[in-house]
Chain A
């Protein structure tokens, strides 16, 4: 068993490395763009504000303010660039069309093929190919059969698709009489060969049938990556008319509701538990094995068990989020308590504080920054867990929405959902940070 496993894993590793290798030029290109914009920005700054103070002379800074503060111009450029790339490769109407990557061919194209019979006669015929947009219907155009034993053909192919065409079916002497196609657009071909034509490529199959592949260009098919405005219009559509019997706000609201209830319960139990563990060695001894064991178990791994025990309803999800928040909050509160500087406790004692007063005025305020950090982490984990739980089983929720959409290949909904999930997660973190700044301004200042 084991040698095979190792060989398998080695193969997988090679596959990953190969993919990475092919991605290298793109990564290099991206870095080049970053450096180029840096150069441009530096130039622009020189023109706008030609100062020569100490900061302007620094190139790379270590450990001072500018090493931790990020350049907001770079952030803006970076985000804009993501949308630009997205628009370029989806033919988005946000950009003028000359900036688009070459799109898939649509319209009518032609090529000629030459048929040769076993007795040496040959004849040409023309094939008319109509490539139509995917969301439309089209029939093969009518064409004049023409003269000779090979007759003209026509076919309609949807954008991004290719099709085999039995061009000999309407010919007077066809494949059944051992006539073969020997040239396309005057270029000699044998089965297996491919010929470039002006709208794409034509290749001969093993049995000599032309396979017509109109050019797919460099843009992404909407089924892989819809354009930004496609995602946006899907967003407005779902926001007004809903998806799967629920409005968008219901889906998001359910997810948020689960997170808030689960997190709140987790914090309500976890913080006192953490305090008890921080203050009493009996509680610490009692809960240490449980907490230390449960902490490394990812909440996602509990989903199957929770579904078995509590079903796929709200209770199960809230139990899951409760568990996700519980250990994080307990550990945060515990280390907040035990992290108090002994000199602060001593100072309070020698100022006449009682045990209870020390708990109230020293231990608890001292632990708040840690608890806030834990709450931020817990909120992030809960949000990730709720989405994942909804992916597995739910009737409403952001995760359920994108899971169902992916089953129907509604990539636009999937992307919309992912963006919304990201924005909400980011918003939660921002709110927690703002609350932290407001409520525990002394964090990190002790």
Chain B
């Protein structure tokens, strides 16, 4: 069992003109293998910073990250990332994008082909294998990004607002897809989002972060992700508890945003 352990992580950015931003302060959290966690929080509270630290793109100023008993010191294929947009390689076809990770490992052509074909089938893009990625719609591109991440068999999947740029309908379909893949593959997933509904739907666990310094404000354990697997997500949203939770979290974030605005006015 490789749990993902965030152990008392703090992150300070020194600003060029002197001074510093405390982006994260004393964040601790343990994620069991196969858990699905969503992260909410007002803009600038350090969500992306936390994810970048988990991915190994940034080294925390204090504390450490461990996956299983290995300490995280840099990016590695066991922690895959799905970016909001613009991280596909537009000089490669859909097939080559999805097969990028296996290619880097030097996997045999035939085996790679099987993996790619299977994943493109899963995300429903079989007919677009040979297309250039810039010929696809935004939603299709996000599906390619997801497939590319999965092709590498990561233990942990990190997603930074992966569905932020999509229209409501595509977004809902993608949410269903994420749930399905999570259940089928049993991977640990962390998903940052700005949408409270999305966070409720796609989080067994949900953390709400607060800014200045960035920290975990509240944590919830939720039943909706399990309910939603293989079901119409709109049914889940109609659930009584769902509405309650949504209102509760919304007003909490509202308060935080207001504090930030008030702070900015001084």
Q: Which of A343-362 contact B (CB under 8 A)?
A: 343-344, 346-354, 357, 361-362
Q: Are A351 and B91 in contact (CB under 8 A)?
A: no
Q: Are B80 and A350 in contact (CB under 8 A)?
A: yes
Contact with B along A174-193 (1 / 0, CB 8 A): 00000000000000000000
CB <8 Å contact, B83 and A347: yes
- Chain B residue at minimum C-beta to C-beta distance from A357: B104
Residue contact A362 to B89, C-beta cutoff 8 Å:
yes
Contacts of B81 in A (CB 8 A): 346-347, 350
Contact A446 B57 (CB under 8 A): no
Name which of B74, B90, B104, B148 has the most chain A CB atoms within 10 A of its CB: B90
Determine if A208 is an interface residue (Cβ-Cβ < 8 Å).
no
Interface flag for B56 (CB, 8 Å): yes
Interface residues of B in 39-77 (CB under 8 A from A): 52, 55-57, 74-77
User: In whole angstroms, how far apart are the Cα atoms of A231 and B81 in the complex?
Assistant: 66
Contact B77 A352 (CB under 8 A): yes
CB pair B55–A361 under 8 Å, yes or no, is no
- Interface assignment of A402: CB less than 8 Å from any CB of chain B: no
Q: Is the CB of A366 within 8 A of B86?
A: no
- B132 close to A441 (CB less than 8 A): yes
Dominant secondary structure at the B interface: loop
Taken residue by residue from 69 to 108, chain B's Cβ proximity to chain A (1 for < 8 Å, 0 otherwise) reads as 0000011110111010011111110000000110011000
Measured CA separation A341–B76 after assembly (Å)? 19
For A351, give its contact among B57, B86, B92, B104 (CB under 8 Å). B104
Residues of B within 8 A of A102 (CB): none
Q: Distance (Å) between the CB of B151 and the closest chain A CB?
A: 8
Question: Residue A365 at the B interface, CB < 8 A?
Answer: yes
Q: How many residues of A contact B (CB 8 A)?
A: 23
Residues of chain A within 8 A (CB-CB) of B77 are 350-352
- By beta carbon, the residue of chain B nearest A351 is B101
Chain A residue nearest to B79 in the complex (CB): A350
Given known A349-B75, A350-B76, contact A442–B100 (CB-CB < 8 A)? no
Q: Enumerate chain A residues within 8 angstroms of B76, measured Cβ to Cβ.
A: 350, 352
Residues of chain A contacted by B188 (CB below 8 angstroms): none
Is the CB–CB distance between B104 and A442 below 8 Å?
no
Q: Which chain A residues border B128 with CB–CB below 8 Å? A: none
Residue pair B91, A366 in contact (C-beta under 8 Å): yes
* Cβ-defined partner of A446 (8 Å) among B52, B74, B90: B90
User: Which residues of chain A have C-beta atoms less than 8 A from B148's C-beta?
Assistant: 347, 351
Q: Choose one: B90, B105, B149; the contact of A442 (CB below 8 Å).
A: B90
Contact A341 B86 (CB under 8 A): yes
A446 to B97, CA, bound (A): 14
B242 interface contact, C-beta 8 A: no
Residue on B with the closest CB to A365? B91
How far apart sit A349 and B79, CA to CA, in the bound complex (Å)? Answer: 10
With the chains together, A349 CA to B57 CA distance in Å? 9
* Interface status of A52 (Cβ within 8 A of chain B): no
The reply to whether B56 and A446 contact each other, CB–CB distance below 8 Å, is no
B152 contacts partner chain A, Cβ-Cβ < 8 Å:
yes
Whether B86 and A352, one on each chain, are in contact in the complex, defined by CB atoms closer than 8 angstroms, is no
Q: Could you tell me if A351 and B152 are in contact, using CB atoms closer than 8 angstroms?
A: yes
Q: Is A445 an interface residue (CB 8 A)?
A: yes
CA distance A343 to B77 in the complex (A): 15
Contact with B100, one of A351, A366, A368 (Cβ below 8 angstroms): A351
B100 touching A348, Cβ below 8 Å: yes
With the chains together, A362 CA to B91 CA distance in Å? 9
**Given contacts A347-B87, A349-B57, A442-B134, are A354 and B104 in contact (CB under 8 A)?**
yes
> Cα distance A341–B84 when bound, in Å?
13
- What's the nearest-Cβ distance from chain A to residue B148, in Å? 7
Q: Give residues 417-446 of A contacting B (CB, 8 Å).
A: 440-442, 445-446
Interface string of B146-171 (1 = CB under 8 A from A): 00110010100000000000000000
Q: Is the CB of A368 within 8 A of B91?
A: yes
Contact between B91 and A442 (Cβ–Cβ < 8 Å)?
A: yes
Residue of B at shortest CB range from A362?
Answer: B89
Residue from A346, A351, A353, A446 whose CB has the most chain B CB atoms within 10 Å: A351
A341 to B88 alpha-carbon distance, docked (Å)? 10
* B154 contacts across to A, CB distance below 8 A: 350
The answer to whether A343 and B100 have CB atoms under 8 Å apart is no
> Are B89 and A344 in contact, with the CB atoms below 8 A?
yes
A351:B80 contact, CB within 8 angstroms: yes
Q: Closest CB-CB distance, A339 to chain B, in whole Å?
A: 13
Chain A, 125-162, CB within 8 A of any chain B CB? none
Known: A343-B83, A366-B91, A442-B90. A352 touches B55 (CB 8 A): no
Residues of A within 8 A of B83 (CB): 343, 346-347
Contact B134 A350, beta carbon cutoff 8 Å: no
Which residues from chain A contact B132 at a C-beta distance below 8 Å? 441-442, 445
Q: How far is the CA of A361 from the CA of B92 in the complex (A)?
A: 9
CA of A441 to CA of B134, assembled, Å: 10
B144 CB to closest chain A CB (Å) equals: 12
User: Which residues of A, 37-90, contact B by the 8 Å Cβ criterion?
Assistant: none
Within 8 Å CB of B55, what residues of A? 346, 350
- For B160, the closest partner residue in chain A by CB is A343
- Judge whether A346 and B91 touch: CB under 8 Å: no
Q: Is the pair B75, A350 in contact by a Cβ cutoff of 8 Å?
A: yes
Please name all residues of chain A whose beta carbon is closer than 8 Å to the beta carbon of B80 when the two chains form the complex. Answer: 350-351
B87 touches A343 (CB 8 A): yes
Contact between B56 and A350 (Cβ–Cβ < 8 Å)?
Answer: yes
Residue on A nearest B83 in the bound complex, by CB:
A343
A348 to B75, CA, bound (A): 9
A-B contact pairs, 5 of them (CB 8 A): A350-B76, A350-B80, A351-B148, A365-B91, A366-B89
List residues of chain A with CB under 8 Å of any chain B CB. Answer: 341, 343-344, 346-354, 357, 361-362, 365-366, 368, 440-442, 445-446
Q: What 8 A-B pairs have minimum CB-CB distances, sorted nearest first?
A: A352-B77, A445-B134, A349-B75, A351-B101, A365-B91, A442-B90, A343-B87, A347-B87
